Amino acid sequence: MRFFRTYQSEIYGPYRTALLRDGLFTGLIMAGVVLFCKLIYYPINTPENLVTDITLLVATLFFTCRYRSSLPEKKVFFKELMMYGLGLGIVAAIVYGLYLLLYGSVIDSEFPSRCLSHFVDGEMSGNASEEDKINTVAVMKGYKLHTWAFIGAFRTAVMSIMVAFISSLIFRTEKDIVKQKNK
């Protein structure tokens, strides 16, 4: 097992409180972007889209940089930034999913039907057999608002894995020290 390394690292900052606070802000920023799109007459057609993905990326990069600069010695390991980024993304996904519930029930009642028509159009233009298309569309027609909100929250959480990895690679300042094996 020589290819597995055990690293010795120290977590320098209060990343748990920072990820909760910054995850909340990121989710609210994503919600604000969706609301802004609705106000400029460009309502979203899917619970996950490029606008929210870019917002998640920019917000995570910003808050990761801010977190690193808040540390006393500005030293941060990849592991700490990964935990911070993943936590931030999970909190943002929960806030965004709850916002989609509010958005679809109060602000834009046409949201679930637009999501359904968008995904049905995509499914019908796919390469699957006609029977598979009909079965998939039948399942999608049973989706309610909470299903679309869950899809948006889940995809945001999955995207946060990639975004956390990118931000961790960019903003890490310390390399871990490899522990010596006990013989």
State residue 182's pLDDT score: 63
State residue 165's pLDDT score: 92
Domains contained in the chain, number: 1
Helix boundaries (H) for 75-144 = 78-102, 111-124, 130-140
25: containing domain:
14-110+144-172
3-state DSSP call for residue 34? Answer: helix
Contact 173, 64 (CB under 8 A): no
Q: Which residues of 24-57 are buried (b: 16+ CB within 10 A; e: fewer)?
A: ebbbebbbebbbebeeeeebbebbbbeebbebbb
State residue 180's pLDDT score: 59
Task: Dig out the tokens for 141 from the structure.
Answer: 């027609």
Distance CA(132)–CA(16), nearest Å, equals: 45
Instruction: State pLDDT tens for residues 145-178.
Output: 888 899 899 999 999 999 999 998 888 876 655 5
Does some domain include residue 123?
no
Contact 156, 92 (CB under 8 A): yes
State residue 9's pLDDT score: 47
Does some domain include residue 105?
yes
Task: Dig out the tokens for 58 from the structure.
Answer: 């920019």
Does some domain include residue 48?
yes
Does some domain include residue 31?
yes
Q: Phi-psi bin for 13: left (phi > 0), alpha (psi -120 to 50), beta? A: beta
Q: What parts of the chain have a pLDDT lower than 50?
A: 1, 4-9
Does some domain include residue 115?
no
Does some domain include residue 4?
no
State residue 5's pLDDT score: 47
Task: Compute and round to an integer the Cα radius of gyration of the chain.
Answer: 20
Does some domain include residue 23?
yes
State residue 145's pLDDT score: 87
**Centroid of chain to Cα 160:** 4
Does some domain include residue 80?
yes
Task: Dig out the tokens for 42 from the structure.
Answer: 């460009």
Distance CA(27)–CA(33), nearest Å, equals: 10
State residue 43's pLDDT score: 79
Q: Provide the whole-model pTM.
A: 0.82
State residue 11's pLDDT score: 59
